[in-house]
Structure 1
Amino acid sequence: MATLNTALISHPRQHRLPTPTQNPISITVNNDRFFANHPILLLIDQCTGTKQLKQVHAQMLRIGLFFDPYSASKLITAFALSPSSSLGYARKVFDQIPQPNLYTWNILIRAYASSPDPDHSLLIFLQMLVQCPELPNKFTFPFVIKAAAELSASRLGRGLHGMAVKASLGSDVFILNSLIHFYAACGCLDMAYQVFVNIPRRDVVSWNSIITSFAQGNCPDEALELFRVMEAENMKPNDVTMVGILSACAKKLDLEIGKWVHSYIERNEINGSLTLNNAMLDMYTKCGSFEDAKRLFDKMPEKDIVSWTTMLAGYAKLGDYDAALRVFNAMPSQDTAAWNALISAYEQSGKPKEALAVFNELQLCQSAKPDEVTLVSTLSACAQLGAMDLGGWIHVYIKRQGIKLNCHLTTSLIDMYSKCGDLEKALEVFHSVDTRDVFVWSAMIAGLAMHGCGRDAIYLFTKMKETKVKPNAVTFTNLLCACSHTGLVEEGRDFFNQMEPVYGVLPGVKHYACMVDILGRAGRLEEAMKLIKNMPIAPGASVWGALLAACRLHGNVDLAEQACGCLLELEPWNHGAYVLLSNIYAKLGKWDKVSGIRKLMRDSGLKKEPGCSLVEVNGVVHEFLVGDNSHPLCEKIYMKLDEISARLKSVGYVPNKSHLLQLVEEEDVQEQALYLHSERLAIAFGLLTMGPSQPIRIVKNLRVCGDCHSVAKLISRLYDREIFLRDSCWNEVQQSLPIDKGILSKPTHHVAILLVETL
């Protein structure tokens, strides 16, 4: 190994600092390269790992070469930017350099800007301003601006923009391109475009930056228009340009333009990189052209995890779960993103049991680990099923793994606990976090609404306003539901009327449906009908469904027929509308009308969805259909039902046969029909298998009938058990029992029954 003379070891050469009148040293060239060809420095480029780099570092220290600024900067570059980089060690090495030059500062700023800790890039930049005798240059600003973009630090980024202008670098194309990305990342597309149009000489990166900004900022039409202008100005696009354009096509779901872009790429022989092929694949799957997607996928010379996951997610979105599973099983490796695609697809398609089954498989997998996206999707599936044991386990898992409760996870936990009937736990999560965005507040308002705490929900809304969090459309949907479920008609009307003039939120179909529900529940059916007629937008199925449900509640046949007719015009396949009108006829004893509707449903090929109730016991979700006898404990369940029936009769319970929705003349058969409802089987199973202190939480797919509602209350008192019974349609739920006032209130009875008028 070559060595330096001893004089250098004894007296490390000091780098002479420039005086204020001198030109600053260039970042790209270390002006003093006396040791550039030293054998030890040449070894740096040959190192394949941090261990070898550390050995070179030791040699440099031993012979004094480390104290040469150029030599130190070359070592820092290898540690910070090479494929085998070790940024933490690079920082330690940097801290040992007596006088790092501007190049070395820039290398560290650049490395941290692309790391998981971009805030360190900004801190090092501030440190540089104090300690480095040289001013930031055109190579400093792009990376520190990138760090600000990663953090969406709008105010800081604007300050950096100002600093660049004051340093006479305001027209540098590299800095301006980075500013386009920064403003877009902060949601300021107008400013991004303003920077773009003021670039003196735009390069292809400038065009790519602005096109990608608009494509990713949900402005696909503007992105496509910019591409046309780019072509008109004879600027040749590259593969990055086309990735942005394909992203815009995917956002527009415009297959025709997407195919044109594909042919444009081929005609102009644009390099078909893996990233470009993945973007094209994504466009085809999102636009629903799976034949094109499959053809492209099969032809791709190189595939990565993104390619496979895109195909998996596409099939899952299409509802072809067999194909999605085939893709999943065929993947060379299954990373967390692939598992997430499968779990999310099942969860969002109303298949929560399948989503939890995949999550359980992931737990046994050694090659992937659940991340935030996994947990959010799984918690949503738990909420749909009422699976609070698993949901609670995930909450514990988050704590044990030290995962920070961001707003997405907080919202999911609140939602899960609320829908599983544990309002106190939902409130505990809500109060445990310091950062609450509009979705966290809205989720908690929804939780209070579904538990019948209408005034608590309104109180929470006032606290939300005090924290300067602006409500959105979801907030008002949940707030209006809270008013509906607790009969707060005037309060609901006030919130609805204030939405646009006070809060700038334009009422949508869901908000009108909520108002119709508020008025309908209160018996103001004519007023609800007047509201519908005066709507500035076309009433959707949810509006007519709310009116139809109100007509059922108050027995208004004429208005129900009108509402049902309008609903079926919008959704001819909606079997729920037929069933609800049939229920109204049945309640009034108009069995000929019931028969007519049933015949109409048969002729149309529509079938009433069978009643199904789910109950979780020891982390396993059990499913019961009406009159079910398929469960392994079927015999014991029916024996328990007999015991329950006897105890109910002993306290004077008389079945309310008006809730029978079919013509049954025999008295004992009438009772048997009510006796076999799925929620009663689930309650009997819960009493049979769960400990006395465990609440029984049941989710039903259809509306709980009034008789089962009454029976659940009586069973709760007779067996001294908490019973939570709710509909799986969580958007419109109510708690039917009185609630003590106060935001941490509990039900005054053991049973909390959450009901919904479901279509």
Structure 2
Amino acid sequence: METLSTPLVSLPSQTNPESRTVKNDGRNRLVFSLIDQCTNRRQLKQIHAHMLRTGLFFDAYSASKLFTACALSSFSSLEYARKVFDEIPEPNLYTWNTLIRAYSWSPKPIESVEIFLRMLCESPYFPNKFTFPFLIKAAAELSRSRVGQVFHGMVVKLSLGDDVFVLNSLIHFYASCGDLDFAYQVFVRIGEKDVVSWNSMISGFVQGGCFDKALELFRGMEAENVKPNVVTMVGVLSACAKMKDLEFGRWVRSYIEQNGIKMDLTLSNAMLDMYVKCGSVEDAKILFDRMEEKDIVSWTTMIDGYAKLGEYDVAKSFLDVMPTQEIATWNALISAYDQNGKPQEALAIFHELQLSENVNLDELTFVSTLSSCAQLGAMDVGEWIHENIKKQRMKLNCHLTTSLIDMYSKCGNLEKALEIFNSVERRDVFVWSAMIAGLAMHGRGRAAIDLFFRMQEAKVKPNAVTFTNVLCACSHTGLVEEGRMLFNQMEPVYGVVPGAKHYACMVDILGRAGLMEEAVEFIEKMPITPSASVWGALLGACKIHENVELAEQACSRLLELEPENHGALVLLSNIYAKTGKWDNVSELRKRMRVSGLQKEPGCSSIEVNGTTHKFLAGDNSHPLSKEIYSKLDEIVAKLKSSGYVTNKSHLLQLIDEENMKEQALNLHSEKLAIAFGLISTNPSQPIRIVKNLRVCGDCHSVAKLISKLYDREILLRDRYRFHHFSGGYCSCMDYW
């Protein structure tokens, strides 16, 4: 625990010793009045100096008046307040309590506890009912359940267990620490509950995810004839929002009107949030238009609501007409784009934000934008953000660390991701999991498993995401035995119950390795109903090993769960195509046309100088299209002269003419992106490409040869993993 020591301020030599005994005369009352009228710290320091000169400061009551202004006023400074406190020869109990209170609201609530311990050792006073609520609040802020329990025990020993103010603090403390049962026990034992008691318990249930209990308690409050206030209704609306119960939310609106509860800004914002989260942006817009007062929360809620509905133009129009644009609103729009699979649009908003002079980028801006960079493979923008974090001297907390590791890993720079991972002192489960995922997608299976065990040595408990990532690492590198061992240890050793994703990973591990019978047996013995992802993993394995019969069964089961899953039909169609069953291909494609299902088009993107360029198969829309196709012709000629023959078995549509078959494969999006990379990047730079689907076998073979013929490093990220092409080889060792 920190020890604070501040030197005493020496008194002026002319101070009259007799002035240390102060009478509460008119002049003193004038000084107290001046303290109450202070509007800034400079005035307060002048009064402080006057009190030192006259000796008034050495009266405990007078000093407490000055100290309260130093610690709790609108212009307070805890640093200055602490110096003032340390000057007071004998602080009274009120002064000690005021300092404990000030620290409980500060960014360093642990100081409240330190001051309390010092009070027990140095002062002649016992803590009272005004001491404990702020100590208990500090414990809640720190999430220190044992510290709070000690304070609870002291409350009982000091016979303060009937004070409703103290008990309300305990409800809040236990709820904040996740112990709702104990919070409810304290609540039930309160003899005369006030509205704060009910509000504390309702808020506790909402924060703990017990929304039904929160609403039930609200009804119980009515039955006890306790009149709810604004805080009560904010809690009830929060429960409605979490439950997405629009009907009840509308009833709450009527209840508020009928009971004359004032719709202040806080309550209006809570209602806006409820409407938006329940999917009724229309109701939210009506309320928003009627609100006489709006703040940043009001505007951000509306922007977030429209953005999540996909009405981005409307969301942007709200941003454009805001009286004052603040970073939280920009963040809401960037985050909405990012979370709804529109990373390109998220980066466009980010670039617009960069041009704004009055808005400072913050941690949430960087986290959301880094996520979009990761999706697109936009490392130039990601590196700019990393440099900006350094310039702002922003501390790399776990959120930023995880985002940077994820961005660099998905943009192909695994070494940079590892550098960041190794440079930070604090690593939570998400940081470890992100680094394991990075190693997995780059085919570094052994390294991922080693890191998993280093995580155990660091006493960080793995979670469900960690296991998904480490099992993926086993899948990508054919580590079957290791995968079996880790899966079998999940629940008995680590207490993590396997979920659908983990079972899908195991099916993928077995299926990729060609252990098809074992994969089927594994599915049959699953204790949970096989999900679509499980059947999808089996279907993917069938494509690798060209098992048509099993593929038909897996596809049938997958479509029972997800009738609109076009990917399953496309995958089965591809299996038919690879095995020459063109009639089946035709039948499947007809079925897709009739049902309105469309195959997701293959798309490859490449970032050059901070700009992302996208290519579809046969694309000629790029401004440098002529140069790209010229380079592609050169590549094809070089490949032929080196003896390469196009592998037409990878063609997934029936084409009669042989030359057209070859041309169709040559126009795949990843080949266009590679050609563009060759003409637009420096020979020393890696060509970084992101493909939205799994890279085809022919493109994989061609990329290996191009890396050798042109002496270029090519990093290609497909839907599942990274391929590092260099010198004619791929990091996956053709196990993909």
Q: Which runs of no fewer than 5 residues in structure 1 stay unpaired?
A: 1-5, 16-31, 738-746
**Mapped partners of 2:375, 2:621: distance in 1:** 23
Q: Structure 1 stretches (4+) deviating beyond 4 angstroms?
A: 32-37, 734-737, 747-757
> Is the 2:376–2:605 contact (alpha carbons within 8 Å) kept by the matching residues of 1?
yes
Q: CA deviation digits over 1:280-329, x for unaligned, max 9?
A: 11111111122221222222222111111111111111111112112222
Matches within 5 A, 1:387-398: 387-398=378-389
Deviation at 1:726, TM superposition (A): 1.0
**Mapped partners of 1:598, 1:678: distance in 2:** 21
Q: CA deviation digits over 1:400-420, x for unaligned, max 9?
A: 222222211121111111111
> Is the 1:726–1:755 contact (alpha carbons within 8 Å) kept by the matching residues of 2?
no
Paired residue for 2:17?
Answer: 10
Paired residue for 2:314?
Answer: 323
Match of 2:92 among 98, 101, 105: 101
Q: CA deviation digits over 1:683-723, x for unaligned, max 9?
A: 12222222222211110111110111111111112222221
The yes-or-no answer on 1:610 pairing with 2:601 is yes
> Is the 2:716–2:722 contact (alpha carbons within 8 Å) kept by the matching residues of 1?
no
Paired residue for 1:89?
Answer: 80
- Bigger Cα displacement from structure 2, 206-215 vs 262-271: 262-271
Deviation at 1:543, TM superposition (A): 1.6
Q: CA deviation digits over 1:548-570, x for unaligned, max 9?
A: 11111111222222222222233
Paired residue for 2:212?
Answer: 221
The yes-or-no answer on 1:402 pairing with 2:390 is no
**Mapped partners of 1:635, 1:322: distance in 2:** 34
Match of 1:52 among 28, 43, 55: 43
Matches within 5 A, 1:680-759: 680-727=671-718, 729=719, 732-733=720-721, 735=723, 752=731
Q: CA deviation digits over 1:341-364, x for unaligned, max 9?
A: 111101101111111121222222
Match of 2:105 among 91, 98, 114: 114
Deviation at 1:635, TM superposition (A): 2.0
The yes-or-no answer on 1:170 pairing with 2:161 is yes
**Mapped partners of 1:567, 1:659: distance in 2:** 24
- Bigger Cα displacement from structure 2, 58-67 vs 107-116: 58-67
Match of 2:244 among 230, 243, 253: 253
Matches within 5 A, 1:626-665: 626-665=617-656
Deviation at 1:33, TM superposition (A): 5.7
**Mapped partners of 1:342, 1:221: distance in 2:** 31
Paired residue for 2:60?
Answer: 69
**Percentage of matched positions with identical amino acids:** 71
Write the letter of the residue equivalent to 1:10.
Answer: P
The yes-or-no answer on 1:124 pairing with 2:115 is yes
Rate the CA distance shift 1:607–1:374 in 2: closer, same or farther, 3 A: same
Q: CA deviation digits over 1:503-557, x for unaligned, max 9?
A: 2222211112112211211222233233333333332221221121111111122
The yes-or-no answer on 1:584 pairing with 2:591 is no
Paired residue for 1:237?
Answer: 228
- Number of corresponding residues: 724
Paired residue for 2:406?
Answer: 415
Write the letter of the residue equivalent to 2:18.
Answer: H
Rate the CA distance shift 1:735–1:219 in 2: closer, same or farther, 3 A: farther
Rate the CA distance shift 1:243–1:329 in 2: closer, same or farther, 3 A: same
Deviation at 1:469, TM superposition (A): 1.9
Match of 2:521 among 522, 530, 539: 530
> Is the 1:694–1:722 contact (alpha carbons within 8 Å) kept by the matching residues of 2?
yes
- TM-score, structure 1 as length reference: 0.91
Deviation at 1:208, TM superposition (A): 0.9
Write the letter of the residue equivalent to 1:577.
Answer: A
Residue aligned with 2:20, SS: coil
**Mapped partners of 2:26, 2:16: distance in 1:** 14
Residue aligned with 1:11, SS: helix
Rate the CA distance shift 1:718–1:11 in 2: closer, same or farther, 3 A: farther
Higher RCO (CA < 8 A, seq sep 6+): 1
**Mapped partners of 1:655, 1:597: distance in 2:** 26
Rate the CA distance shift 1:673–1:195 in 2: closer, same or farther, 3 A: same
Write the letter of the residue equivalent to 2:197.
Answer: S
Paired residue for 1:283?
Answer: 274
The yes-or-no answer on 1:476 pairing with 2:467 is yes
Q: Which runs of no fewer than 5 residues in structure 2 stay unpaired?
A: 1-12
**Mapped partners of 1:271, 1:636: distance in 2:** 67
Residue aligned with 1:45, SS: helix
Rate the CA distance shift 1:107–1:366 in 2: closer, same or farther, 3 A: farther
> Is the 2:711–2:727 contact (alpha carbons within 8 Å) kept by the matching residues of 1?
no
Paired residue for 2:664?
Answer: 673
Q: CA deviation digits over 1:588-639, x for unaligned, max 9?
A: 1222222222222222222222221111112221112212222222222222
Residue aligned with 1:484, SS: helix
> Is the 1:736–1:754 contact (alpha carbons within 8 Å) kept by the matching residues of 2?
no
Q: Could you say what the CA RMSD is over the residues aligned between the two structures, in angstroms?
A: 2.4
Deviation at 1:34, TM superposition (A): 5.6
**Mapped partners of 1:557, 1:53: distance in 2:** 84
Matches within 5 A, 1:397-476: 397-476=388-467
> Is the 2:477–2:735 contact (alpha carbons within 8 Å) kept by the matching residues of 1?
no
Residue aligned with 1:38, SS: helix
> Is the 2:490–2:498 contact (alpha carbons within 8 Å) kept by the matching residues of 1?
yes
Paired residue for 2:328?
Answer: 337
Rate the CA distance shift 1:33–1:289 in 2: closer, same or farther, 3 A: farther
Paired residue for 1:26?
Answer: none
Matches within 5 A, 1:534-545: 534-545=525-536
Write the letter of the residue equivalent to 1:733.
Answer: R
Match of 1:314 among 296, 305, 317: 305
Deviation at 1:751, TM superposition (A): 5.0
Deviation at 1:481, TM superposition (A): 1.0
> Is the 1:722–1:751 contact (alpha carbons within 8 Å) kept by the matching residues of 2?
no
**Mapped partners of 2:507, 2:270: distance in 1:** 44
The yes-or-no answer on 1:80 pairing with 2:71 is yes
Write the letter of the residue equivalent to 1:130.
Answer: C
**Mapped partners of 1:596, 1:330: distance in 2:** 53
Deviation at 1:7, TM superposition (A): 11
**Mapped partners of 2:733, 2:93: distance in 1:** 65
**Mapped partners of 1:111, 1:235: distance in 2:** 31
**Mapped partners of 2:447, 2:185: distance in 1:** 46
Residue aligned with 1:565, SS: helix
Paired residue for 1:142?
Answer: 133
Matches within 5 A, 1:477-556: 477-556=468-547
Matches within 5 A, 1:295-310: 295-310=286-301
Q: CA deviation digits over 1:30-54, x for unaligned, max 9?
A: xx96669622221222222223333
Deviation at 1:649, TM superposition (A): 2.0
Write the letter of the residue equivalent to 2:321.
Answer: A
**Mapped partners of 1:69, 1:364: distance in 2:** 55
Q: CA deviation digits over 1:646-702, x for unaligned, max 9?
A: 222222211111111111222222221111111111112222222222211110111
Residue aligned with 1:623, SS: strand
Deviation at 1:499, TM superposition (A): 2.1
Paired residue for 1:3?
Answer: none
Write the letter of the residue equivalent to 1:713.
Answer: K
Deviation at 1:338, TM superposition (A): 0.9
Paired residue for 1:18?
Answer: none
Match of 1:196 among 163, 187, 209: 187
Write the letter of the residue equivalent to 2:235.
Answer: G
